[in-house]
Amino acid sequence: MNEPATDAAASARIRRHSRSTAFWSDRLFRAVIIASASVLGLLVLFFAYELWQSSTLSIRTFGWRFWVSRDWDPVREKFGALPFIWGTLVTSIAALILAVPLSLGTAIFIAEVAPRWLQQPVSFVVELLAAIPSVVYGLWGVFVMVPWLREHVQIPLEQRFGHIPLFQGPAVGVSMMAAILVLAVMIIPYITAVSREVILAVPQSQREASYGLGATKWETIRRVVLRYARVGILGAIILGYGRAVGETMAVTMVIGNRPEISLSLLQPGYTMASVIANEFTEATSPLYLSSLTEIGLLLFVITLLINALARFLVWRVSRGEVRY
């Protein structure tokens, strides 16, 4: 009979305590975190508004045709974004397809398979790769990878498979293929580093339970570790994709900067980020400038859509609706 009463008294005391001593600091803390969160939200809204505002001229002039037009003629002021959208999507998705298996393999190796003395050096090398500035990747791409690629990959491919649209020549080195490879190399360290952390965070008890049931190492990794870590790994992949979509410098240096839609991997292409970086400084006419801004807006929208899609995937996966 007496107990609930003391309980109530205790909780009242606690409440009073928190109100009297921690009241102002809690309030302040709350205000600060709410402010920082809303600053970020407002910033995104501000960006969207600003991009929209600056591209109204182009939107009014070209309308929806801007999305599907292949023209890019600054002299006659005819602009269309399709080749850039194509280049951005193809290079980033293909880079992801190359990078994900390699990164996951490396992450699993570091976290699960490698002997202890090897773990640190391999992780170190991976993190080192992530720290290299993109312009350095670009330089390496232009002076080392592209000539090698042309001699040893593209020309043989063109000679043997030139009749297939995918490998139509002439091979000149700088190409969609070069951009895809550079992007893949650039995003591997990101996906690897984050996936490794996620895999390491899988509780040891999960693995022990699996081994206890007689599972092999491969079965444990596939059925238990990767399954447990899948949301985090998906997050790592999204992070890598985000970088691939937005990468500018390294891509510009190896892609050949040609606003054309070609199925061939050996042909040059162009991306949205690259065209903005290339032409923004000397774009003096209002319509030209506005069209470049609209490409920025499109990039913003596409990134937003991809992120939303990824969020949706994460949500589905974490609810366990998607099985593999």
The binding site for another protein (CB under 8 A) comprises 71-76, 142-143, 146-147, 150, 170, 172-174, 252-253, 256-259, 268, 274, 277-279, 281-284
- Cβ proximity to another protein: between 27 and 311 the closer is 27
**Residue 128: partners with Cβ closer than 8 Å, 6 or more residues away:** 189
The amino acid that residue 271 corresponds to is T
Closest distance between another protein and the C-beta of residue 172, in Å?
5
- Cβ proximity to another protein: between 10 and 144 the closer is 144
In angstroms, the CA 133 to CA 186 distance is 10
Quick one: DSSP state of residue 323? -
In angstroms, the CA 2 to CA 163 distance is 90
**Residue 147: partners with Cβ closer than 8 Å, 6 or more residues away:** 173
Closest distance between another protein and the C-beta of residue 270, in Å?
8
Closest distance between another protein and the C-beta of residue 312, in Å?
36
- Cβ proximity to another protein: between 190 and 270 the closer is 270
- Cβ proximity to another protein: between 78 and 230 the closer is 78
Strand, helix or coil for residue 73: strand
Closest distance between another protein and the C-beta of residue 188, in Å?
25
Closest distance between another protein and the C-beta of residue 254, in Å?
10
Contact (CB, 8 A) for 69 and 80: yes
Rounded to 10°, the helix 272-279/82-108 angle is 120
- Cβ proximity to another protein: between 76 and 319 the closer is 76
């391999």: which residue's tokens? Answer: 122
- Cβ proximity to another protein: between 233 and 266 the closer is 266
Closest distance between another protein and the C-beta of residue 137, in Å?
14
Residue 234: CA atoms inside 13 Å, Cβ hemisphere, count? 18
Torsion sign over Cα 305, 311, 314, 320? negative
- Cβ proximity to another protein: between 173 and 296 the closer is 173
Closest distance between another protein and the C-beta of residue 320, in Å?
44
* DSSP string across 144-166: IIHHHHIIIIIHHHHHHHTTSGG
